[in-house]
A and B are shown apart, each in its own frame.
Chain A
Amino acid sequence: MNTKNRSTLTAIWDFFCSLKLTIITLILLAATSIIGTVIQQNRSPQEYLQVYSETTYKLLNSLQFFDMYHSWWFLALLGVFTINLIACSIKRLPRVLKAVREPVLVASDSLYRTFSNLEEHVVAAPVTEVRETLRNFVAKGFVAPIITEEGDKIHLFAQKGRYSRFGVYVTHLSIIIIFIGAIVGNVWGFKAFVNIVEGTAANQVWPRGSEQPIDLDFSVRCDAFSVTYYEGSNRPKEFRSLLSVIDGGKTVIEKRPVIVNDPLSYGGITFYQSSYGPAGDPVFNFRVRPRAGGESVDITARQGQRVELPGGGLFRVVDFAPSFQNFGPGARLEVVSKEGRRNSFVVLQAFPEFDVQRGGEYIFSLVDYKQRYYTGLQVAKDPGVWIVWLGCALLVLGSMVAFFLSHRRIWLTIQPVGNRTGIKLGGTAHRNQPAFEIFFDEFKKKLKAELNA
């Protein structure tokens, strides 16, 4: 490899190792992300053309602004961000590993000169005595020191929190783990939905934006669906589906209630309560009593279906509301008498005798009704989700370590000065130096008192 190639490679490497690149990438990611919150994402061309002119639409479309978080340029930005993260870590990690694995046990004079908190003492006690005093003092006030003897000099080294240096790298690694989890989920997982009518089962689900269903190895039956409301209000309290799972002809899960915030998982696939709606027309049970007296009869009718009345004539349910003007379920009926007279009126389930005052030939009361519903379920398979959670846990842990812990080191050197003993000490923290200074000032003060005692 000639020098020119080498220097180009070095330049590229330096470019990706640069912190300036990190800051610029982060700011670009932040700024471009705004686009997708202002322009609605993944709508149909028709919807966009209602908002934008054709030229604007074409321009935005060519820039992939309608699915910008998956556009080539946004993914490229994330790619640069990832490479930058890895390059920075690779560049700095060996130095950190060395600092952790091979601590500097002996502080040279040049190292001492870098400390602004350097302190020196000369005491009358002999070297061996001072050595014991200092060892005990450091062990008590900080942590047991490592002692290195070098000629007539004795060096003490003590450190705390050396692993906190890895906090930053754990944080960086965690982001890559999250990305890996997201990719795993995208490649081997799916997001789909399925509507299941009460009493029926489904073994296919439909991915979003696709006509091709995904076959499941099992089927899911919706046994019942219900909505409940808070007392005296229209605010829904609970959407509940009773789901059963049938696998290989056997019912493996029976009538498990599934509500919002409590999904059902089976075979790595999870079903989430998402929506609901009526399936077909409701079926009504009426009790019909001739005004003239006589037996009342029970009649079942579907909405719109013409049903004969016992003494001739017909009726049908024209309309139905689960909550008719706050009186509860109400049905609008149309009766056609033998003579062909039409008559339309409302019956309410809550007031069985309400129809008496109408004065018609028959008195109708609505006993009950059955409306079948379908439950709308989100269906997700995401084998990468646990990788993502692992990454998230490491992200929080790593950033806490990086921010709140630091690698603190203290060096002491003892050496004879004539027939007295000289002591030199200094210390440093790789982060949050001011907090360390407060501790170290106190440490030095106590040490001085100890030496004078």
Chain B
Amino acid sequence: MTSIQLFNIVTIAYFTSMVLFVVYLVTRSKVVGIIARVGAYGGLLAHTAAIGLRWYESYQIPGGVGHAPLSNLYESVVFFSWTIVLIFLILDLKYRQTSVGAFVVPFAFLSMVWAQLQLDDAIEPLVPALQSNWLTYHVITCFLGYAAFAVACGVSIMYLIKAGKEEKHPDDSPAGGILAIFPSIRILDDINYKAIMIGFPLLSLGIITGAAWANYAWGTYWSWDPKETWSLIVWFIYAAFLHARFTRGWVGKKAAVLSIVGFVATIFCYLGVNLVLSGLHSYGG
């Protein structure tokens, strides 16, 4: 079996898991929730194996091509999807809020679909600029951070839906229908905060490893390149979020909005900069 085939299985697993999480919202069946989780775990396992297999495959190509599969847009999107599921399942171990899956697993599924349908999956040798161990540290820390922000964004969307509904119909609280199965806004707020607490030091590490690498390769740790600048913009937004928690008037809805804005900026930093702007960081990673 090739890694590409295995990635197809991963996509199917995430699709199944995503559908079942949505079905759970409607049916509130415990069994459906369990199967949805099994799908996510199974997908993550296959995903890990597929990334490992692709790594191995790169070494089978003659001409010293072998490298960790973190070097182009396809590989980074696939890895992003992996980190989203990983962070989601770690937080899920603690919070056990099945409904959150319906708002987070779609990010992972859509990433896989996009990678497989639109992006070039050829294993390319590394250009000299990328031949460094810093590549691995930099990409892993950045994407774990991004993934934590993805989870926070999903939870913040749930927060806004639930808080909005409760504001409109304060009488028939707790909210009925699908919303009843959402965690309380207090818990959603807490998960949002926890996810960003995990993501923020990882993003900081990602920026720092990037700076260290840039210094080692080019002699400048910071050059206000669009990618660097956008990573700093993301950092500013989440720093604002973290301080907002200690300020009256900035908790709750505003914090959820800030978390979503932060993730939009994250996605722009990751994709928009490469697709829209120009700069040093044109590897697609």
Is the pair B128, A236 in contact by a Cβ cutoff of 8 Å?
yes
Q: How far is the CA of A400 from the CA of B64 in the complex (A)?
A: 39
- Which residues of chain A are within 8 angstroms of B229 by Cβ–Cβ distance? 33, 36-37, 69
Q: How far is the CA of A232 from the CA of B229 in the complex (A)?
A: 37
Q: How far is the CA of A34 from the CA of B229 in the complex (A)?
A: 8
Is the pair B247, A23 in contact by a Cβ cutoff of 8 Å?
yes
Is the pair A272, B226 in contact by a Cβ cutoff of 8 Å?
no
- Which residues of chain A are within 8 angstroms of B221 by Cβ–Cβ distance? 385, 388
Q: A111: CB under 8 A from chain B?
A: no
Is the pair A27, B236 in contact by a Cβ cutoff of 8 Å?
yes
- Which residues of chain B are within 8 angstroms of A396 by Cβ–Cβ distance? 201, 204-205, 208
Distance to closest chain B CB from A267 (angstroms): 15
Q: How far is the CA of A230 from the CA of B128 in the complex (A)?
A: 11
Task: Give the size category of A's interface with B.
Answer: 35 or more
Q: How far is the CA of A237 from the CA of B190 in the complex (A)?
A: 48
- Which residues of chain A are within 8 angstroms of B205 by Cβ–Cβ distance? 396
Q: B62: CB under 8 A from chain A?
A: yes
- Which residues of chain A are within 8 angstroms of B63 by Cβ–Cβ distance? 230-232
- Which residues of chain B are within 8 angstroms of A238 by Cβ–Cβ distance? 128, 131
The stretch of B26-34, B157-165, B212-220 that contacts the partner chain: B212-220
Q: How far is the CA of A388 from the CA of B215 in the complex (A)?
A: 11
Is the pair B204, A395 in contact by a Cβ cutoff of 8 Å?
yes
Q: B211: CB under 8 A from chain A?
A: yes
- Which residues of chain B are within 8 angstroms of A191 by Cβ–Cβ distance? 219-220
Q: A203: CB under 8 A from chain B?
A: no
Q: A270: CB under 8 A from chain B?
A: yes
- Which residues of chain B are within 8 angstroms of A434 by Cβ–Cβ distance? 190
When the two chains form the complex, which single residue of B124, B211, B273 contacts A392, counting CB atoms closer than 8 Å? Answer: B211
Is the pair B237, A41 in contact by a Cβ cutoff of 8 Å?
no
Is the pair B236, A30 in contact by a Cβ cutoff of 8 Å?
yes
Is the pair A23, B243 in contact by a Cβ cutoff of 8 Å?
yes
Select the residue from A26, A263, A388 with max chain B CB neighbours within 10 A. A26
Contacts A236-B127, A263-B219, A399-B200 known; A33 to B243 CB distance under 8 Å? Answer: no
Contacting residues of chain A (231-248) with chain B, CB-CB under 8 angstroms:
231-233, 235-239
Distance to closest chain A CB from B139 (angstroms): 15
The 0/1 profile, CB within 8 Å of B marked 1, for residues 423-453 of chain A is: 0000000000010000000000000000000
Q: Work out how many contacts link A and B, with CB atoms closer than 8 A.
A: 114
Contacting residues of chain A (261-278) with chain B, CB-CB under 8 angstroms:
261, 263, 270, 272-274
Q: Please give me the residue from chain A that is nearest to B133 by CB atom.
A: A261
Is the pair B237, A26 in contact by a Cβ cutoff of 8 Å?
yes
Contacts A19-B246, A19-B247, A230-B63 known; A30 to B237 CB distance under 8 Å? Answer: yes
Is the pair B240, A23 in contact by a Cβ cutoff of 8 Å?
yes
Is the pair A260, B273 in contact by a Cβ cutoff of 8 Å?
no
Q: How far is the CA of A136 from the CA of B221 in the complex (A)?
A: 53
Is the pair B243, A260 in contact by a Cβ cutoff of 8 Å?
no
Is the pair B201, A400 in contact by a Cβ cutoff of 8 Å?
yes
Is the pair A261, B237 in contact by a Cβ cutoff of 8 Å?
no
Q: How far is the CA of A69 from the CA of B240 in the complex (A)?
A: 20
Is the pair A33, B236 in contact by a Cβ cutoff of 8 Å?
yes
Is the pair B224, A27 in contact by a Cβ cutoff of 8 Å?
no
Is the pair B128, A239 in contact by a Cβ cutoff of 8 Å?
yes
- Which residues of chain A are within 8 angstroms of B244 by Cβ–Cβ distance? 23
Q: How far is the CA of A259 from the CA of B201 in the complex (A)?
A: 32
- Which residues of chain A are within 8 angstroms of B218 by Cβ–Cβ distance? 272, 274, 378
The 0/1 profile, CB within 8 Å of B marked 1, for residues 339-360 of chain A is: 0000000000000000000000
A23-B250, A392-B211 known, 17 other contacts, Cβ within 8 Å: A19-B247, A22-B243, A26-B243, A37-B273, A191-B219, A191-B220, A230-B63, A230-B65, A230-B125, A233-B125, A237-B128, A263-B216, A263-B219, A380-B220, A388-B211, A396-B208, A403-B200
The contact sample of 29 A-B pairs, CB cut-off 8 A, is A19-B243, A19-B246, A23-B240, A23-B247, A30-B237, A33-B232, A36-B224, A191-B220, A230-B64, A231-B63, A232-B63, A236-B127, A236-B128, A238-B131, A259-B128, A260-B129, A261-B128, A261-B131, A263-B216, A263-B217, A263-B219, A272-B217, A380-B219, A382-B219, A385-B215, A388-B211, A392-B212, A396-B201, A396-B205
Counting from the closest, the 4 A-B pairs by CB-CB distance are: A380-B219, A30-B236, A26-B240, A260-B128
